[in-house]
Amino acid sequence: MEEKNAGITSVIRQKALELGFTAVGFTKVRLPDEYIRKYEEWLNRNYHGSMDYLVRHLPLKKNPELVLENALSVICVSLLYRTEDCLTDDPHHGYFSIYARGRDYHKVVKKKLTQLIGEIHKITGDCHERAFVDSGPVFEKYYAAEAGIGAIGRNSLVISSGYGSFFFLGELITSLPIDTDSVQNFDPCRGCARCLEHCPVNAILDNRQINAGRCIAYLTIEHKGIIPYELTVLMGNRVYGCDSCQKCCPWNRKIKITAEPDFSCRLTDDIVRLDNLIKFKPEDFSETFAGTPVHRIGYESFIRNVVIAAGNSGDLKFIPVLQQMLAANPGEVISQHLIWSINNLTAGNCR
């Protein structure tokens, strides 16, 4: 049986790499009580912000058998997304997280996982799988670390000693009794606290967790509604995501570029100029960002973030544009941020 399992593991690894995944690892589906306790404590301290679905998902996360009957193992994969820098760092341009500049990774990784399921069933048909990509009731970072993909860093991201942290994670929960891989026995952050020092909003805690309610990635992507003004002034020109805690990480110093063509940059400097983005109507937003992760946040969150970036720009030319937008009564959320941005520019503040 052990030889058979080892053979299956070897073939699955080979097929996953042939599909373009950067790395693949295997672990058991069981979860230690201590990890669950720490996660529940994180939720109880409201570090999840307004992501109430994390509370709703908890019973499923704690009991993988509720996700897949007879679940035994987890096949973990990673896929690099870092591309050559394609956009300027000019503060008068909106900043979009590196991972969001190409095709929506949910679609890319899910398609590859579906193909991998097909390959597994060619080997052995007596099994069942469910695929997850950053959107299901799965402790993906815990599983990735246990499967040897990397180790969890101070910024709560999985860091690989071979290719840093600019990669996506995906999982197949399976009924196969697969041999497990070894955990990477290294601490990527020993003696280093650069991510804590570079986080603009002090969202990184000292226990390899984050206060998501302060994180700019959360604020610009997950959070709906009004963003607290003590945080908007710290957001700078960030329209979607952040990347600060990854760009400063020593493990990302040697840039590893993805070979996945779907992650090629679809944006240009002309598109992301703030004086261009501020003019976007819903149809412009859809036409420009369809098929990318940005489109998932919707027009209202997008234009809210652009308004904040304009308010942080220090460029007084935005004041009449913002005033005109306010006169059109765009709704409470946008109106409140328009007022803040106009006042911030009038006061001469910028970040």
Using a cut of 0.85, tell me whether the model's pTM lies above it.
Answer: yes
Written as tens digits, the pLDDT of the chain (351 aa) is: 455 566 889 999 999 999 999 999 999 999 999 999 999 999 999 999 999 999 999 999 999 999 999 999 999 999 999 998 888 889 899 999 999 999 999 999 999 999 999 999 998 877 899 999 998 899 999 999 999 999 999 999 999 999 999 999 999 999 999 988 878 788 999 999 999 999 999 999 989 999 999 999 999 999 999 999 999 999 999 999 999 999 999 999 987 899 999 999 999 999 999 999 999 999 999 999 999 999 999 999 999 999 999 999 999 999 999 999 999 999 999 999 999 999 999 998 665
Catalytic residues: 134
For the beta carbon of residue 69, count every other beta carbon within 10 angstroms.
Answer: 8
pLDDT (0 to 100) of residue 1: 47
pLDDT (0 to 100) of residue 240: 98
CA 256-141-127 angle, 5° bins: 105
Cα separation, 10 vs 205, whole angstroms? 38
pLDDT tens digits, 140-158: 999 999 999 999 999 999 9
